[in-house]
Amino acid sequence: MLGLLFLGFSAGLPYLLVFSTLSAWLTDYGVSRSTIGFFSWMGIVYSVKVIWAPVVDRLRLPLLTKWLGQRRSWMLIAQLGIVLGLLSMARLDIANELTALAFIGVWIAFCSATQDITIDAYRIEIAEVEQQAAIAASYILGYRLALLVAGAGALYIADFASWPTAYTAMAALAGLGVITTLSVARPESDNRPRGLENTKGFGQNLLDAVINPFVEFWRRCGRFVVPLLLLISFYRVSDITMGVMANPFYLDLGFSKSEIASVVKFFGFGMTILGSVVAGVMVVRYGLMKILLLGAVLVAATNLLFAVMAGVTSEPSLTFLAFTISVDNFSGGLANVAFIAFLSSLTSSSYTATQYALFSSLMTLPGKFIGGYGGVWVDSFGYQDFFVLAAGLGLPAIGLVLCLMIWPPSPKVMGGGG
């Protein structure tokens, strides 16, 4: 569990450093909002990691696999790539090397997504079924602590020192993952033959790994396939689109990086946890679909609070910022828990990992793609119109949830087909 705590930290650290924290750095250096929006497309790498996951799962690395095993060898390569990427980013002249920054950012995102793939596999293989809940809890705790460090911690360091210092410090912390990988145990499953080495042909492996999960989902869901896939695609579009421009918005309002770290990261973190806990209780009491609808409504509505803040011409208010962040993060925590439960209910017990990976990719890809144009919208029409647009992007999800409540799928569909 201690090892998974540190691996969770290693997995969570790079994400914000190529997303919202990077957007704050670019804002500080006077980069246009349109360019900052396009930089957010680096996050799409996380959404398409399912493409190369079979390679990470099956390909044995020369020398390293014999020394560390299949999982830890890929972990080590990915973690070293993250450390080198962050160090390289810290040494760039942002004003004159934006293209290099983009390439390094994509490299970090690729290594981070690869690390996610292999840590998830390691986490499942290292312990028995009855230990998985405790292992997962330890991993999630480490991941959330890393989000605090990469968000609030990096902002504090940047405010009191500089952005290169902040990213150098993050690279040093990423080294904890390397130490952990070299220290944790090797799963016994590392000794079994894997897909590229077993007696099945390539075609059969492709059928089992990729085609069959799609076919099973299509047959089970029937006429509900399209509305379900549309809901998965649209449910998080509103909050992901808004998140791209969040840090530039706070800085443009005149808040310092330390104030953003204190209110948005630390305070917001607590409200996200509270929303998650409340969602868990409410789903049991009122049912999944009702809370899924509530989450969709709240997430869209809270974007209007940001529009109100953008329209205020007086001195920025920390109190109003704290209130807005509280409502937004609480709503996000509630909606996220309900949505994860919804996705879990759609997976088949025969293809749990593959189908959930596909769902998780689908749920973030549209929002990240649309969010890339957020900066163009801000530069053209301003923050207020952008947040109203982000709120409007939540309406399709609300409509789709209502449709599924009026015409509910059968228990076979929502129960994962047994």
312 backbone dihedrals φ, ψ, rounded to 5°? -75, 125
Closest CA to 14 of 94, 97, 104: 104
Give the model's pLDDT for residue 173.
96
Residue 62, pLDDT above cutoff 90: no
Domains in the chain (CATH in brackets) are 1-199 (1.20.1250.20), 201-418 (1.20.1250.20)
Task: Write the DSSP symbol of residue 130.
Answer: G
**pLDDT per position as a tens digit, 381-416:** 999 999 999 999 999 999 999 999 998 887 766 655
Q: Three-state SS for 230?
A: helix
Residue 330, pLDDT above cutoff 90: yes
CB within 8 A of 409, min separation 6: which ones? 221, 224, 228
The chain-wide mean pLDDT, for the chain, equals 86
Give the mean pLDDT of 254-258. 90
Q: What percent of the chain has pLDDT over 90?
A: 49
Give the mean pLDDT of 39-64. 83
pLDDT confidence tier of residue 362, bands split at 50, 70 and 90:
confident
Give the mean pLDDT of 48-75. 82
Give the mean pLDDT of 264-281. 84
Which has more pLDDT, 380 or 267? Answer: 380
Residue 183, pLDDT above cutoff 80: yes
Give the model's pLDDT for residue 418.
43
Contact yes or no for 269/144 (Cβ under 8 A): yes
Give the model's pLDDT for residue 149.
94
Residue 198, pLDDT above cutoff 70: no
**pLDDT per position as a tens digit, 90-147:** 999 887 899 999 999 999 999 999 998 888 778 777 766 556 657 776 787 888 899 9
Closest CA to 36 of 252, 263, 259: 252
Give the model's pLDDT for residue 417.
46
Which has more pLDDT, 352 or 6? Answer: 6
d(CA 172, CA 84): 10
Give the model's pLDDT for residue 160.
93
d(CA 187, CA 177): 17
Give the model's pLDDT for residue 218.
84
Which has more pLDDT, 8 or 215? Answer: 8
Give the model's pLDDT for residue 38.
93
Give the mean pLDDT of 344-354. 70
pLDDT confidence tier of residue 201, bands split at 50, 70 and 90:
low
pTM value is 0.81
Closest CA to 46 of 147, 114, 127, 129: 114
Give the model's pLDDT for residue 88.
96
pLDDT confidence tier of residue 358, bands split at 50, 70 and 90:
confident
Q: Which two tokens stand for residue 195?
A: 């897909």
Q: At what angle do helices 246-253 and 237-244 cross, to 10 degrees?
A: 50
Give the model's pLDDT for residue 133.
58
Give the model's pLDDT for residue 154.
94
d(CA 115, CA 49): 10
Give the model's pLDDT for residue 210.
64
Give the mean pLDDT of 335-362. 77
Which has more pLDDT, 114 or 204? Answer: 114
Closest CA to 8 of 133, 187, 135, 126: 135
Q: What percent of the chain has pLDDT over 70?
A: 88
